[in-house]
Structure 1
Amino acid sequence: MPPNVTLLDLVNAVARHARSEAEIMATVVYLVNRGHVRLCGTFKGTRFGTRFELEALAVA
C-alpha cells in the first residue's frame, strides 16, 4: 500500500533532491497520479490534471 503523506511533506521531500521548481511539480504530480503516494489531510484523494487534460476540458 502506498504511503499517506501531506502535500506539504511530499513537496518538501522532493525539493530536497530537485534542481528546479518545474522538477518538483513534475515529480509530485507523477508520484500522486501514478499512485506511488496517497495524499492525506486537506488534499486527501486529490489527483492532478495535466496541461493536456485541462486544454481538452477548455475545448469541450
Structure 2
Amino acid sequence: MARNVTLLGLVSAVAKYARSDKEVIATVAYMVNSGRVRLCGNFKGTRFDLDALADDIAA
C-alpha cells in the first residue's frame, strides 16, 4: 500500500541519504511514478514527466 506524503516531506527524507541533487530527483520521481508513495497536499496526484526531467538534469 502506498504511503501518502507531501512533496516537501519526501524530498527532505530522500535528501538525508542521497549523495547529490540528481540522486534526490531520480529517487523522488521513481517513488512517485512507481506508486510506492502517493503525494498529498498541493501536489496531490502529481506524476513526473521523465523526459522533461532528463532534459533538465542533462543541462
How far apart are the structure 1 equivalents of 2:9 and 2:50?
A: 22
Greater C-alpha radius of gyration: 1
Paired amino acid for 2:24: I
- Alignment root-mean-square deviation, CA: 1.8
Q: Could you tell me the TM-score, scaled by structure 2's length?
A: 0.85
Aligned to 1:46: 46
Question: What is the aligned residue count?
Answer: 54
Instruction: Detail structure 1 runs of 4+ shifted over 2 Å in the superposition.
Output: none
Aligned to 2:29: 29
Aligned to 2:14: 14
Q: Which runs of 5+ in 2 are unaligned?
A: none
Tell me the percent identity: 62
How far apart are the structure 1 equivalents of 2:5 and 2:50?
A: 21
